[in-house]
Amino acid sequence: MIPYARQDVDDADIRAVVEVLNSDWLTQGPAIERFEQSVADYCGVKYAVATCNATAALHLSCLSLGLKPGGLLWTSPNTFVASANCARYCGADVDFVDIDPLTFNMSVTELEDKLRVARRQKRLPDVVVPVHFGGQSCAMERIGELAREYGFAVVEDASHAIGGEYRGGRVGACTYSDLTVFSFHPVKIITSGEGGMILTNREDLQQMARLLRSHGITRDTATMMGPPDGAWYYEQIELGFNYRMSDIQAALGASQMLRIDEFVARRRHLSARYGELLKDVPVTLPALEAGALSAWHLYVIRVNPGNRSHSEVFDGLRARGVNVNLHYIPVHLQPYYRKLGFKPRDFPVAEQYYREAISLPLYYGLTDAAQDLVVGALKEILE
């Protein structure tokens, strides 16, 4: 079976983890700071805050921005549920902006139209979460302009996109946003087993994220209510969470960062090769966002209406040993969000995409020969 994704862990990664296991620190030690600094340096951003996963990073980002009950967050319907759930964790409302039919990212045209209506209705979003689907940046320059015009904060959900580039800079530089979130789940570009990270250029946001990720507890005397009772003293000054990453995870992540350019280069090669192999096959290939270089976490094709049905192609590929997947079921169609009032046909472009999309295998260890088998199986089904 050819999986749709797979981590690549080498001997150096294993040695890095064993070194931590043999050290005095397994949880909150120096490996975390090293990992944070390596990601911050790579992306060209001031601050990085490691978390136990990207869902926690999204939640902390919203809390750090002050999202609260009565607030409003907009995101893409074509994403994992965490991109919307982070608002609900804060007690805020959620709405969605339909996607671009070519890039599968949030449509800036739809965003502009929705913002104009929201201004008239006096219900503008507090936070917008554009999702860099499949590894390529959204049209962040325009989204940043709209954020300044309409007064909302921007959190880039770049869970797919570490190693991606936009307008000559790295995704994660926060050039057009307040914060960026990465995921280090095993199927992502690099992995720490589980793990996430918040990036920002704002000191106030990184300070709040650090405080909230560890129960809201501080040992900094400058932020305490009064003088400490002794060297052991700490104070809980906010209601925080246990969203910390361990040193074991951080050691793996920092080791993987040493190979990130190698990982991304291989994914770009495989994606370009898919484009050549599939150029005469009756499927729609992913388009590139202007100014963006994708990290290619996913390679998604769309089965064109009039050929084999969506499920026939999907099931046929799996029957032939190609373990394809589908990213994503539109969030607003999930039962939880339907109970909040969303319904079919609310976001028709995302829904049409869902009826056609298939994620083909794409990962660092995928060989050219295995990729040929994937394409051969697809052609066999469609013919």
Residue type, 209: A
| pLDDT recorded at residue 133 | 98
d(CA 295, CA 85): 25
Buried b (16+ CB within 10 A) or exposed e, 295-312: bbbbbbbbbeeebbebee
Domain count, the chain: 2
Averaged pLDDT for residues 351-357: 98
pLDDT in tens, 41-84: 999 999 999 999 999 999 999 999 999 999 999 999 999 999 99
For residue 49, what is the enclosing H or E element? strand 47-51
281: domain CATH number? 3.90.1150.10
Residue 95 DSSP symbol: E
The pLDDT of residue 307 is above 90: no
Beta-sheet strands, E only, within 148-280: 153-157, 165-166, 169-170, 179-183, 196-200, 217-218, 235-236
> Is residue 193 located within the same domain as residue 289?
no
For residues 282 and 376, membership in a common domain is answered with: yes
Q: Phi first, then psi: what are they for 55, rounded to 5°?
A: -60, -45
273, 250: one domain: no
> Within this chain, do residues 229 and 315 fall inside the same structural domain, yes or no?
no
CA pair distance 335, 81, nearest whole angstrom: 12
CA 225 to chain centre: 37
The CATH number given to whatever domain includes residue 27 is 3.40.640.10
- Domain encompassing residue 376: 260-382
Same domain? For 120 and 33 the reply is yes
Task: Please indicate, yes or no, whether residues 302 and 288 belong to a single structural domain of this protein.
Answer: yes
Q: Are 239 and 292 in the same domain? A: no
Contact 118, 74 (CB under 8 A): no
Same domain, 252 and 265: no
Query: In this predicted model, what pLDDT tens digit does every residue of 179-220 receive, in sequence order?
Result: 999 999 999 999 999 999 999 999 999 999 999 999 999 999
Domain end position, chosen among 257, 287, 318 = 257
pTM for the model stands at 0.97
Same domain, 151 and 44: yes
